[in-house]
Amino acid sequence: RRQCLSTLGQAAAALTAGPLLVGGAGAQRPPNVVLILSDDQGSTDLGCYGATNLHTPNLDGLAGDGLRFTQFYVNAPACMPSRSALMTGRHFVRSLSSDGMSGDEVTIAEMLKGAGYRTGCFGKWHLGHPESMEPLAQGFDEFLGFKVGAMDNYSHFFYYGGPNRHVLRRNLEPYREDGVYFPDIVAREAERFIDDNQASPFFLYLPLNQPHYPLQPEARFLDRYQGVADVARRYQMASLTSMDERIGRVLRRLDDRGLRQDTIVLFLSDHGHSREERTFGGGGRSTPFTGHKGTLREGGIRVPCLLSAPGRVPSSQVRDQAVTSLDLLPTIAHMTGAALPSRELDGASLAGVLASAGAPSPHGQLHWVYDKSWAVLEGNWKILGDVSDDSLALYNLAQDPAERHNVASSNKEIATYLIGRHNEWIRSIKKEASSKAFVSP
Amino acid sequence: RRQCLSTLGQAAAALTAGPLLVGGAGAQRPPNVVLILSDDQGSTDLGCYGATNLHTPNLDGLAGDGLRFTQFYVNAPACMPSRSALMTGRHFVRSLSSDGMSGDEVTIAEMLKGAGYRTGCFGKWHLGHPESMEPLAQGFDEFLGFKVGAMDNYSHFFYYGGPNRHVLRRNLEPYREDGVYFPDIVAREAERFIDDNQASPFFLYLPLNQPHYPLQPEARFLDRYQGVADVARRYQMASLTSMDERIGRVLRRLDDRGLRQDTIVLFLSDHGHSREERTFGGGGRSTPFTGHKGTLREGGIRVPCLLSAPGRVPSSQVRDQAVTSLDLLPTIAHMTGAALPSRELDGASLAGVLASAGAPSPHGQLHWVYDKSWAVLEGNWKILGDVSDDSLALYNLAQDPAERHNVASSNKEIATYLIGRHNEWIRSIKKEASSKAFVSP
């Protein structure tokens, strides 16, 4: 066991996995898993996270049916690395190559397929174009969506590089449904997939493309927010409500088929909100955090996350433990009885955390790298480094969630300790890391 | 009268306007005018211009009903300056400011409105955003379309700079018809406008957005050309056939309302085809010419042009005279009896040319400037200059339509003469020219 902050006189970091209070798979049919990923949604941009006047009744309802996490992290503040880590339970520096998620990784879909699940992916893949990295090669029986980072929702064209082109695919083939709003296609396919697979356990992965640019919420949602003066915020709010409505369709279908008691529903964002010009400079909400997509500040990597599994986890509770999207694969394995992939994972089962607000996080430290930045979190302490100028900042998140007050100079021992942990982790992971992915994923 | 090539022993350039063989407006109701502008269509990219295997039955039929021009020029190889010249009969260096077409110019629409016409514009305006440059401020009673250079045909979003945003407008207001293919909206509005204005003379301006990028022909048209291996060419052909089908709808509506005998239908492209990456590098046809959008070679400025006016001009004839889009305003004035704007025009009535294949062009010389390039055409001689490196090339278009053989060194007198004409023209026009528009329109 490594040295930890408690040896420096700080509050003890919880390094041991909690007892398994959450039931594993028994003789009964294993639960379905519905994993919904939003795209570029701000850290706290949901009604149930305190966003004012934002109408997200279906996701707020999901929080009421289950658990809401307040310190849930993704592995990177960008689409591909975050998704690669989510799908594999392994840090993106291990699981992502320069082309996409490595074909020899074991995804949640492959893990569950091995346990007899039917698997479907509808939405934005964005984990690689080569055939070995296609959804169908990564454990999914079905795919409808696109593999690039963004797409026009009506023409299904890609505009952000190269020739303007149509990118919608069903499985491996081009698929045209010109003029139909993509979120409606995704919701319809999700409903159909649920209907088709009522008899068998299924894994439904819905990587939505809202509220990512292009921001194309329907007029009725823009009208709802016409009182919002800031155009960037108005489009973001309308996009989130539009997304929430489609999620409502999926949840309703589970209800209508009597499947909610047999289904784990997970919702999270792939990272923080965008500040790009394509989103009018960014109208996402991360209050009280700062930072956004592309940064390792809390607003880049801390995301809304909800988990509902009636009868399996408590309802209407909050979990404040620092946990991560790396934990979802092992947690799903635990809850479904699927066999864990036989390789080193960076995540750990959240069974204890799900069962109890008082259970410790399975993680002593959490580590991030992205582009030129790196970060380590242990307890309340977060250190943020930048290799381009060797700058360093130490924050106490409990006192300073906005990361405004660099207290490194008055806490040199802690900073030195965390730098040591970072260097140690880098050494441990570097043998597996794709240097290209490491530097600029 | 200026010196011309005939004084150098060349074939006499025809400088005098032909006799007015085409009937002007009499006591009867003046004819409707339908002006259809295609977008980035190649110089000879139509069935009736020899494009092989290209299905454009409606435009080919229009050529059969009227005149087909083989040496028809636009004023510039780019959208805004070409449109500004077309709309005003004045060279773009006079009529275009840095923001768009100057509000104090008199457009074809304003001219015809003064003669009691109802006026409608449906399609791509691209002549300025300020309110003084809106279609409604430039003589149109109605507008539905967009003012930027290109738009997604289904979402009606603009992607080529700034935040991704919805740009469809009806008159001055945002207009949403999400998911509906824009060429269908234009055709429908054109049909409705014709129906609404059967009782009065009307001017219907249809600046279509095909085959401009984004290339979004429907699957049925792509299927028609699935044997075409070159993807750029396939998309171009499918886009042209898609466009032709909508033009067919408009012509059919004129027929159905019994208006063809009372209607002048004009069709031309705004300039040559695009070689931009957004069109897969360009699949447009300009054979036998070279050059494309953005150049002053024939493939940039020579365009397909058809004019049908049953009972007013001959049918199924070809016109080989060198004429230009600047001539359309004065020609329309002549044919409708509308009063010409009281300002210096660069175009001249084509009444003589319309009546007779043997009539001379009204132009002794034609002049172009664009970005760093300039050109003068007189008779068969075309000189092409570039002020960035002072390069010069002289071509004999009769012998060398592809502009491959620079014969300046063996025809120094002609080159010197044409340089002189260019300098003279520059001096004459410069007092009116917006230098900004001149250099980089």
Same fold, B21-355 and B366-439: no
Q: CB-based contact (8 Å) between A173 and chain B?
A: no
Instruction: Please report the pLDDT score of residue B438 as a whole number.
Output: 44
Minimum-distance CB partner of A181 among B166, B178, B218: B178
Give me A224's structure tokens: 């709802």
Give me A115's structure tokens: 């346990």
Q: CB-based contact (8 Å) between A381 and chain B?
A: no
Instruction: Express each pLDDT in B121-145 by its tens digit.
Output: 999 999 999 989 999 999 999 999 9
Give me A402's structure tokens: 């906005």
Minimum-distance CB partner of B164 among A176, A214, A219: A214
Mind telling me how many Å the CA of A371 is from chain B's nearest CA? 25
Query: Measured at the alpha carbon of residue B48, what is the angle toward residues B46 and B53, in degrees to the nearest 5?
Result: 60
List the single best residue of B40, B153, B155, B236 to mutate versus A (max A Cβ within 10 A). Answer: B155
Taking the C-alpha atoms of residue A195 and residue B183, their distance in angstroms, rounded to an integer, is 37
| Rg from Cα positions in chain B | 21
How far from the centroid of its chain's Cα atoms is residue A26's Cα?
28
Instruction: Please report the pLDDT score of residue B433 as a whole number.
Output: 63
Give me B334's structure tokens: 């002549």
Pairing of strands B302-308, B67-73: antiparallel
Find the residue in A nearest to B181 (Cα): A179
DSSP states of A270-333: SSS---SGGGTT-----TT----TTS-SHHHHEEEEEEE-TTTS-SSEEE-S-EEGGGHHHHHH
Instruction: Please report the pLDDT score of residue A26 as a whole number.
Output: 47
Closest CA to A239 of A219, A267, A253: A219
Taking the C-alpha atoms of residue B153 and residue B359, their distance in angstroms, rounded to an integer, is 42
Closest CA to B165 of A178, A146, A213, A221: A213
Pick one of 3.90.550.10, 3.90.1150.170, 1.10.3210.10, 3.40.720.10 as the CATH number of A23-355: 3.40.720.10
Give me B90's structure tokens: 């004045």
Taking the C-alpha atoms of residue B380 and residue B14, their distance in angstroms, rounded to an integer, is 12
In degrees and rounded to multiples of 5, residue B378 shows phi and psi of: -140, 120
Q: Which long-range contacts (CB under 8 A, 24 or more apart) does A411-416 make?
A: A411/A381, A413/A8, A414/A5, A414/A8, A414/A10, A414/A381, A415/A383
Instruction: Express each pLDDT in B147-191 by its tens digit.
Output: 999 999 999 999 999 999 999 999 999 999 999 999 999 999 999
Element (H, E) at A417: helix A412-430
On whether the CB atoms of residues A101 and A440 are closer than 8 A, the answer is no
Query: Measured at the alpha carbon of residue A119, what is the angle toward residues A156 and A325, in degrees to the nearest 5?
Result: 85
Taking the C-alpha atoms of residue A282 and residue A390, their distance in angstroms, rounded to an integer, is 28
Dihedral, B61, B67, B70, B75 alpha carbons, nearest 10:
-110
B2 pLDDT tier (thresholds 50, 70, 90): very low
More confident residue, B400 or A430: B400
The answer regarding whether domain B21-355 maps to CATH 3.40.720.10 reads: yes
Q: CB-based contact (8 Å) between A176 and chain B?
A: yes
On whether the CB atoms of residues A101 and A87 are closer than 8 A, the answer is yes
Taking the C-alpha atoms of residue B81 and residue B338, their distance in angstroms, rounded to an integer, is 24
- Residues B163, A279: C-beta atoms closer than 8 Å: yes
E-only strand ranges, A81-201: 118-124, 142-146, 157-158, 165-166, 169-170, 173-174
DSSP states of B226-258: TT---HHHHHHHHHHHHHHHHHHHHHHHHHHTT
Instruction: Please report the pLDDT score of residue B98 as a whole number.
Output: 87
Taking the C-alpha atoms of residue A194 and residue A254, their distance in angstroms, rounded to an integer, is 7
Element (H, E) at B84: helix B79-88
Taking the C-alpha atoms of residue A284 and residue A87, their distance in angstroms, rounded to an integer, is 25
List the single best residue of A148, A151, A155, A182 to mutate versus B (max B Cβ within 10 A). Answer: A155
Instruction: Express each pLDDT in B297-334 by its tens digit.
Output: 999 999 999 999 999 999 999 999 999 999 999 999 99
Domain boundaries, chain A: 23-355, 366-439
Give me A409's structure tokens: 């100079």
Q: Which residue has the tokens 């009969």?
A: B89
On whether the CB atoms of residues A166 and B280 are closer than 8 A, the answer is no
Find the residue in B nearest to A235 (Cα): B165
Taking the C-alpha atoms of residue A61 and residue A267, their distance in angstroms, rounded to an integer, is 12
Average pLDDT, chain B: 92
Instruction: Please report the pLDDT score of residue A145 as a whole number.
Output: 98
**Complex confidence, ipTM:** 0.90
Instruction: Please report the pLDDT score of residue A439 as a whole number.
Output: 38
- Residues A213, B164: C-beta atoms closer than 8 Å: yes
Instruction: Please report the pLDDT score of residue B4 as a whole number.
Output: 56
Taking the C-alpha atoms of residue B154 and residue B181, their distance in angstroms, rounded to an integer, is 5
List the single best residue of B40, B158, B159 to mutate versus A (max A Cβ within 10 A). Answer: B159
The answer regarding whether domain A366-439 maps to CATH 3.30.1120.10 reads: yes
Whether residue B6 is predicted with pLDDT greater than 90 in this model: the reply is: no
| Cβ count near A301 (within 10 Å) | 28
Whether residue B8 is predicted with pLDDT greater than 90 in this model: the reply is: no
pLDDT tens by residue, chain A, 441 residues = 345 565 443 333 333 333 334 444 445 789 999 999 999 999 999 999 999 999 999 999 999 999 999 999 999 999 999 999 999 999 999 999 989 999 999 999 999 999 999 999 999 999 999 989 999 999 999 999 999 999 999 999 999 999 999 999 999 999 999 999 999 999 999 999 999 999 999 999 999 999 999 999 999 999 999 999 999 999 999 999 999 999 999 999 999 999 999 999 999 999 999 999 999 999 999 999 999 999 999 999 999 999 999 999 999 999 999 999 999 999 999 999 999 999 999 999 999 999 999 999 999 999 999 999 999 999 999 999 999 999 999 999 999 999 999 999 999 999 999 999 999 999 998 776 654 444 332
Instruction: Report, as an integer, the average pLDDT of B434-441.
Output: 41
What separation in angstroms does the CA of B226 have from each of A256, B237, B315? 44, 10, 34
| Catalytic residue check, B79 | yes
Instruction: Express each pLDDT in B53-103 by its tens digit.
Output: 999 999 999 999 999 999 999 999 999 999 999 999 999 999 999 899 999
Chain A hits for B214, CB-CB cut-off 8 Å, are 155, 157, 159, 164
More confident residue, B345 or A432: B345
Taking the C-alpha atoms of residue A14 and residue A364, their distance in angstroms, rounded to an integer, is 6
Taking the C-alpha atoms of residue B241 and residue B248, their distance in angstroms, rounded to an integer, is 10
Taking the C-alpha atoms of residue A233 and residue A270, their distance in angstroms, rounded to an integer, is 19
Give me A347's structure tokens: 């995540």
Instruction: Please report the pLDDT score of residue A433 as a whole number.
Output: 63
Minimum-distance CB partner of A179 among B180, B278, B280: B180
Q: In what order do the strands lie in the sheet with B373-378?
A: B366-370, B373-378, B381-386, B391-396
On whether the CB atoms of residues A156 and A182 are closer than 8 A, the answer is yes
